Amino acid sequence: MVDLRRNETAEGIRLKDSKKRLVEYGDNGFANNARGKLRIINDMLESHWADIALTNEQLAAELKRISRNREDEAAQSFDFAARTVHRVFNNDDWEQGGRFYGAWWMSCPSRLRPYILIDGKRTVEVDYAGLHAAMLYALEGLPIPDDPYQRCLAHAGNKAERRLVKRTFNALLNADGVQGINEIEGYTADLTGRQWNEFKQFVVSSYPEFERHFGSGVGLKLQRKDSDLAEAVMLKFAAMGYSCLPVHDSFIVHHGLEQDLANAMNSAFHAEFGIDSKVGVDVGLGETVEGGGSHIEADIGELLNPTGYEARLTAYRLNHGVA
């Protein structure tokens, strides 16, 4: 296995213009500070091995499936050497964007993230519930609901419908105007009971307190805030000596660190907004993931010549002198 490492001279803090072209910004105090923190974060990510509990056959099948899927989250393949991140700021403005990109798990479909392992151990994913909506409530000095999207749901507990509401809500915040927002990918009137134009107006009318934010493009400024939260959480885990994998508004850690992660996320949110946030937990597959997703037979050949993620973890440990 080739042990690829990030290029230390690569620019990890990227500024883009309105056409998504890289902008040269020279010696910048904010960028220099952010770059130093990014180095700490990437050292933390590189010092642990993140993988996914799939056999070679299962991984090949998933790659084939992903190749037919045009969704953003499945736009990349599983390149396990891609274990570091960079930050991207938008519109030639350090106050817009700033999110972390580049690591393989960020493009891992959400249905597969429960299979992610860190150093061969099972994980837990914790996310901020309705983060951009929660931030708007905090900025307006309003209490944050347990689920900010609940008021738009016709079917309680329907995750697919909630996902459409969330994506529509965020699209309305990111756009320069409400009328010109095209139908989001995956939208279906069968689920919402409304045609697209009617549905987006329904979402707007459901949040009169945020009327001035819809169609304002404020979403990129909120991304700057959520990326700062992510930076704080990952730096906390780096200081503790543990790995913390970012997925924009959620994080993946060793399963035994669930409460530590929830505390770090709430602490970062409180430091920024002065109130606590709401977090949700996806525990994943349970104990069966650790060491494999199926019953392991006493096969000496497999023990001596591991395959799949076990082989990649073994190679990582050998290359890094880890017992």
> pLDDT (tens digit, 0 to 9) for every residue of the chain, 323 residues total?
334 444 454 689 999 999 999 999 999 999 999 999 999 999 999 999 999 998 888 888 887 877 766 444 444 567 888 999 999 999 999 999 999 999 999 988 888 999 999 999 999 999 998 999 999 999 999 999 989 999 999 888 888 999 999 999 999 999 999 988 899 988 999 999 999 999 999 999 999 999 999 999 999 999 999 999 999 999 999 999 999 999 989 999 999 999 999 999 999 999 999 998 888 776 544 333 333 333 334 444 544 567 788 888 888 888 887 76
Question: Does residue 141 share a domain with residue 233?
Answer: no
The structure tokens listed for 260 are 């530590």
Given a contact cutoff of 8 angstroms between Cβ atoms, the answer to whether 195 and 229 are in contact is no
Question: Does residue 281 share a domain with residue 307?
Answer: yes
The structure tokens listed for 152 are 């738009």
Question: Rounded to the nearest 5°, which phi and psi values hold at 123?
Answer: -130, 175
Q: How many domains does the chain divide into?
A: 2
Question: Does residue 193 share a domain with residue 224?
Answer: no
Inside any domain, residue 6: no
Domain that holds residue 200: 133-210
Inside any domain, residue 8: no
Please provide the distance, in angstroms rounded to a whole number, between the alpha carbons at the two ends of the chain: 18
* C-alpha distance from residue 100 to each of 228, 246, 248, 288 (Å): 10, 8, 7, 31
Question: Does residue 121 share a domain with residue 239?
Answer: yes
Question: Does residue 110 share a domain with residue 42?
Answer: yes
Question: Does residue 273 share a domain with residue 201?
Answer: no
d(CA 18, CA 28): 20
Across 275-307, b (16+ Cβ under 10 Å) vs e yields eebbbeeeebeeeebeebbeeeeeeeeeeeeee
Inside any domain, residue 315: yes
Cβ contacts of 156 within 8 Å, gap of 6 or more: 150
Question: Does residue 108 share a domain with residue 31?
Answer: yes
Question: Does residue 112 share a domain with residue 36?
Answer: yes
Question: Does residue 229 share a domain with residue 120?
Answer: yes
- Residue whose C-alpha is closest to residue 261's, from 273, 246, 275: 246
Question: Does residue 293 share a domain with residue 157?
Answer: no
d(CA 200, CA 69): 25
Question: Does residue 256 share a domain with residue 170?
Answer: no
Question: Does residue 112 share a domain with residue 231?
Answer: yes
How far is residue 21 CA from its own chain's centroid? 23
Domain boundary among 210, 239, 264: 210
Q: Give the predicted TM-score (pTM) of the model.
A: 0.87
